[in-house]
């Protein structure tokens, strides 16, 4: 599996992706799953991928081939809106998976991929969209302004916390790392290094960095969360008669 | 889905189960998923179930029929060890699911169920076992002395916390409720009321109670966790140059 996420805040966007890939437990690799593309100065795209590594690589190769082709070819340089970029990405993804479907089915495999596409085109407000293997997409909502692909369940509570606390971009990135570490500790198919992208609205460029497995930050972050949760245990209220119903009497 | 869990501590056992059932979003019900059986004074069993409601009900009916039959019939009253009770439960579960398999397959449904079985037989130390639909079982380990069935991913971090903090039985029950609430808030198929069972080693009886959706305890517990996590955000360390690798230079 994989775990990638994106958050949309008032100030900008946060992206985070793990890098672990595996085809069985005896074939584990490290691949970048977060890709930044800026084909022209007026647009910036961040693509995160989950699912078939072969499909995501072929999709990225086709995106680059289309960008190098003549201006009549639809590409990330020609789309007029971010949603058109999502449809374009969805079309490529569906085409690639379809091209290999029969052969993969024979060995019981599935070549589909799911993407998060974030960024902006022209003067539109930056946004994040989730592109399904079938080629359609959804946006993040105002009430739940984050998207996750891959192993999304373990770390969801942390992202909800970031939304609730209405934090700034860098703090959101740190909470997202908490979400990632929580997932990686529960699921071997998710692991470091982690790629982080922070886009400030209007900046037209993205701050990108990688956090290696030996980074002191990961250790510091997990210690803070651990201490706070352990503090929480000490403060848990007692269970009183008002709190419960007796199973035998129903009172 | 469902979320049931059990913890094995030095002092005893903690059980927690939600009660929501659903066959599609327009057919939601409330059913007990935690069942206590004490067929003779020297043994006590707690059975938690996830999966097909029909299968779990038929399994429980068969368990009660066997208990009422003559002493030559294998039942929870005749087994000599907890693991034999697990094998007996697994055999019934597999038989019931197999009896309905063909008919269910025709409508694309699956009648399997998974169980947690906890308790003790005679003077054995109390234990918790997970019984698979195929009829085999595993115990909780010393390193990870809890079991989960159903929607287990969202709330796993809380159980790991309980283990790490080496808490008492009642505190473990409160942390388990935190795990349950975290799951219920993320997944509509899990919901209150919640059934709690606390077994103190050697007590030969179990403290059982229900926490209704309007219980003030749920509100108090979630406020404590929320406050601690928000405190955690304020304490998160800054991201420094030492923590990250530049994507372009690799340094």
> Mind listing the pLDDT tens digit for each residue in A212-236?
999 999 999 888 888 888 888 888 8
Minimum CA–CA partner of A144 in chain B: B186
**Backbone phi, psi, residue A47, to 5°:** -115, 125
pLDDT value at residue B153: 92
pLDDT value at residue A190: 92
Q: Verify whether the Cβ–Cβ distance B186 to A221 is below 8 Å.
A: no
**Percentages helix, strand, coil for chain B, rounded to the nearest 5?**
35, 25, 35
Residue A160, Ramachandran bin (φ over 0: left; ψ between -120 and 50: alpha; else beta) = alpha
Residue to test with chain A: of B247, B249, B251, most A Cβ within 10 A: B247
Q: How confident is the model at residue A40 (pLDDT cuts 50, 70, 90)?
A: very high
Q: Mind telling me how many Å the CA of A123 is from chain B's nearest CA? A: 27
Domain A3-214 has CATH 3.60.20.10: yes
Q: How far is CA A58 from CA A61, A87, B65, B128, in A?
A: 5, 17, 60, 48
Q: In sequence order, what are the beta bridge partners of B15?
A: B6, B197
- Greater confidence, B19 or A242? B19
pLDDT, one tens digit per residue, over B172-222 is 999 999 999 989 988 888 999 999 999 999 998 999 999 999 999 999 988
Q: Verify whether the Cβ–Cβ distance A232 to B224 is below 8 Å.
A: yes
Query: For chain B, what percent of residues have pLDDT higher than 70?
Result: 99
Judge contact between B192 and B17, C-beta under 8 A: no
pLDDT at B242 over 90: no
Cα A88 from Cα A74, distance rounded (Å): 8
Average pLDDT, chain A: 93
Average pLDDT, chain B: 93
DSSP designation for B155: T
Please give the helix or strand (H or E) that residue B45 lies within, else none: strand B43-51
pLDDT value at residue B145: 95
Q: Mind telling me how many Å the CA of A132 is from chain B's nearest CA? A: 21
Query: Which chain B residues contact residue A175 at CB under 8 A?
Result: 233, 236
Q: How many C-alpha atoms does B237 have within 13 Å on its Cβ side?
A: 16
Q: Verify whether the Cβ–Cβ distance A233 to B171 is below 8 Å.
A: yes
Q: Mind telling me how many Å the CA of B72 is from chain A's nearest CA? A: 32
The residues, ordered by sequence, that sit 6+ positions from B56 with a Cβ below 8 Å of its Cβ are: B33, B49, B113, B115
- Greater confidence, A224 or A149? A149
Query: For chain B, what percent of residues have pLDDT higher than 90?
Result: 74
Strand residues in chain A grouped as ranges (E)? 3-8, 12-17, 20-22, 28-30, 34-37, 43-51, 113-121, 127-131, 137-139, 146-150, 194-200, 206-211, 245-246
Q: Verify whether the Cβ–Cβ distance A244 to B216 is below 8 Å.
A: no
pLDDT at B101 over 90: yes
- Greater confidence, B19 or A186? B19
pLDDT value at residue A227: 87
3.65.10.10, 3.90.1300.10, 3.40.50.300, 3.60.20.10: which CATH number matches B3-243? 3.60.20.10
Q: Verify whether the Cβ–Cβ distance A186 to B216 is below 8 Å.
A: no
A52-61, A83-92, A205-214, B231-240: range with lowest mean pLDDT: B231-240
pLDDT at A113 over 90: yes
Give the residue among A117, A118, A49, A42 at the shortest CA–CA distance from A78: A42
pLDDT value at residue B96: 98
Mapping DSSP to helix (H, G, I), strand (E, B) and coil, where does residue A124 land?
coil
Q: How confident is the model at residue A251 (pLDDT cuts 50, 70, 90)?
A: low
Cα A203 from Cα A126, distance rounded (Å): 11
The residues, ordered by sequence, that sit 6+ positions from B75 with a Cβ below 8 Å of its Cβ are: B39, B63, B66, B67, B69, B88
pLDDT value at residue B115: 98
pLDDT value at residue A141: 94
Q: How confident is the model at residue B251 (pLDDT cuts 50, 70, 90)?
A: low
Query: For chain A, what percent of residues have pLDDT higher than 90?
Result: 74
- For B211, which of A182, A185, A244 is closest by C-beta distance? A244
**Backbone phi, psi, residue A169, to 5°:** -60, -45
pLDDT value at residue B135: 97
Q: In sequence order, what are the beta bridge partners of A113?
A: A51
Query: Which chain B residues contact residue A35 at CB under 8 A?
Result: none
Average pLDDT over residues B103-118: 95
Q: Verify whether the Cβ–Cβ distance A195 to B247 is below 8 Å.
A: yes
Residue A9 burial by Cβ neighbours in a 10 Å radius (0-12, 13-18, 19+): buried
Q: Verify whether the Cβ–Cβ distance A221 to B236 is below 8 Å.
A: yes
Please give the helix or strand (H or E) that residue A93 lies within, else none: helix A82-106
pLDDT, one tens digit per residue, over B48-94 is 999 999 999 999 999 999 999 998 999 999 999 999 999 999 999 99
**Backbone phi, psi, residue B234, to 5°:** -65, -25
For residue B202, count other CB atoms closer than 10 A to its CB: 11
Judge contact between B208 and B199, C-beta under 8 A: no
């Amino acid at each position: 599996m994989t775990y990638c996420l994106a958050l949309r805040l008032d100030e900008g966007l946060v992206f985070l992706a793990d890098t672990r890939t595996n085809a069985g437990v005896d074939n584990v690799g490290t691949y970048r799953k977060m890709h930044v593309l800026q084909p022209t100065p007026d647009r910036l795209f961040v693509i995160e991928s989950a699912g078939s590594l072969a499909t995501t690589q072929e999709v990225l190769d086709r995106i680059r081939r289309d960008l190098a082709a003549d201006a009549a070819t639809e590409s990330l340089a020609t789309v007029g809106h971010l949603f058109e970029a999502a449809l374009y990405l969805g079309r490529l993804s569906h085409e690639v998976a379809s091209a290999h479907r029969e052969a993969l089915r024979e060995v019981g495999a599935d070549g589909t991929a799911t993407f998060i596409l974030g960024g902006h085109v022209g003067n539109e407000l930056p946004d994040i969209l989730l592109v399904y293997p079938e080629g359609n997409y959804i946006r993040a909502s105002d009430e739940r302004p984050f998207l996750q692909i891959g192993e999304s369940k373990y770390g969801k509570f942390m992202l909800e916390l970031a939304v609730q606390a209405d934090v700034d971009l860098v703090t959101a990135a740190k909470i997202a790392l908490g979400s990632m570490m929580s997932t990686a500790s529960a699921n071997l198919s998710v692991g470091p290094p982690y790629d982080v992208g922070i886009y400030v609205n209007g900046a037209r460029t993205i701050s990108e960095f990688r956090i290696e497995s030996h980074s002191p930050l990961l250790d510091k972050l997990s210690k803070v969360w651990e201490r706070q949760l352990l503090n929480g245990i000490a403060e848990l209220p007692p269970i009183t008669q008002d709190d419960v119903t007796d199973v035998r009497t129903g009172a």
